[in-house]
Amino acid sequence: MPQLFSPFPLANLTLPNRVVIPPMCQYSAADGNATDWHVIHYGNLSHSGAGLLIVEATAVEPVGRISPFDIGLWSDENEAALRPVVEAVRRHSSMPLAIQLGHAGRKGSCAAPWDGGKQVAEDQLGWQTVAPSAIPFKPEERAPLALDAAGLARIKAAFAFAAQRAQRLGFDAIEVHAAHGYLLHQFLSPLTNQRTDDYGGSLENRLRFPLEVFAAVRAAAPQMVVGIRISATDWVDGGWDLEQSVALAHELKARGCDFIHVSSGGLAPQQRIPVGPGYQVPFGERIRRETGLPTITVGMIDQPEQAEAIIAEGRADLVAIGRPMLYDPRWPWHAAAKLGAQVEAPPQYWRGTAPAGLFSTVKPGERFKR
């Protein structure tokens, strides 16, 4: 069996294979509420044959959204709106389902990418953003409000409440978002965290709030798989880097972290990223080697042979296929056919022209456990 399609035990959850669909924002919610688009979108992806599906960045409070059209999980209404999405997937797929909980911090209050992605004024559906320090993402943008003690407590509690809602909804796992320049990443990096209290300055202080948030989520959902996504480097001199990421990973492991999803960048416009196939794999590889944490790798991985080699060589435990999955929602089917493996698919699709033996006999509604 190709290693990419071998099962993987993730804490108390067994994934049928090593292909992960990472969180990808859809900017299609209404007041934080999931819509029919999310039923269609996640229903489609749940039939892809991947081993794990992670729902897009979900804001823990209204000012934690990236755009006015992000989904949220801060209210009963949000929870009720997301429930039909989860239930639809559960009825027709046995794919494990996770959700990413996050807070945009200073990168919030922006238009959707197809509308330019620029910061939205407060009188045009925007809001006052918050951050560790009053430093705007771009010079022309309005400065965020530096969080005080009450603000820190509010946000930490919001993550915990959202985790409880995710558990009630029946998600299998939670991914805490501490990557791509959003709030928790802003606390980690010395470029965006210039506080002089216990949450700024030294590495220990800059780790403090993200670790407190992770611990709050872990405590709020003790039966769930809980992991984190980080940017391993800012790609800016003097910023967050791999050495600090390794230190963070050790602290996370000590606090019961079940997996780490390793990306990079997103914090500062001046970043210079040497993009190329698998360019982020070495970051996760080192964290995995030095901490033993189960690792998801991501970044310009689009060929089945490439993904198989990453797993077979022990460079990562799981491979996230993001943008290629939007282009080809059956990427795992095609990868399995190419590598000589099997995937789960609904029986309604078994009459397709896929190679004989491609589809396993697991039927929708059956939880895949080994």
- CB contact set of 9 (below 8 Å; sequence gap of 6+): 15, 370
- CB contact set of 153 (below 8 Å; sequence gap of 6+): none
Cα–chain-centroid distance for residue 147? 24
224 secondary structure, DSSP code: S
Distance, in Å, from the CA atom of 125 to the CA atom of 144, rounded to the nearest integer, reads 16
Q: Which two tokens stand for residue 314?
A: 């022990």
Amino acid symbol at 65: R
Distance, in Å, from the CA atom of 286 to the CA atom of 39, rounded to the nearest integer, reads 37
Distance, in Å, from the CA atom of 259 to the CA atom of 184, rounded to the nearest integer, reads 17
Q: Is-contact 2 308, C-beta < 8 A?
A: yes
Q: Active-site residue among 27, 42, 182, 199?
A: 182
199 given a catalytic annotation: no
Distance, in Å, from the CA atom of 46 to the CA atom of 190, rounded to the nearest integer, reads 39
What separation in angstroms does the CA of 5 have from each of 15, 301, 309?
10, 16, 12
22 half-sphere exposure, CB direction, 13 A CA radius: 25
Residues known to be catalytic: 182
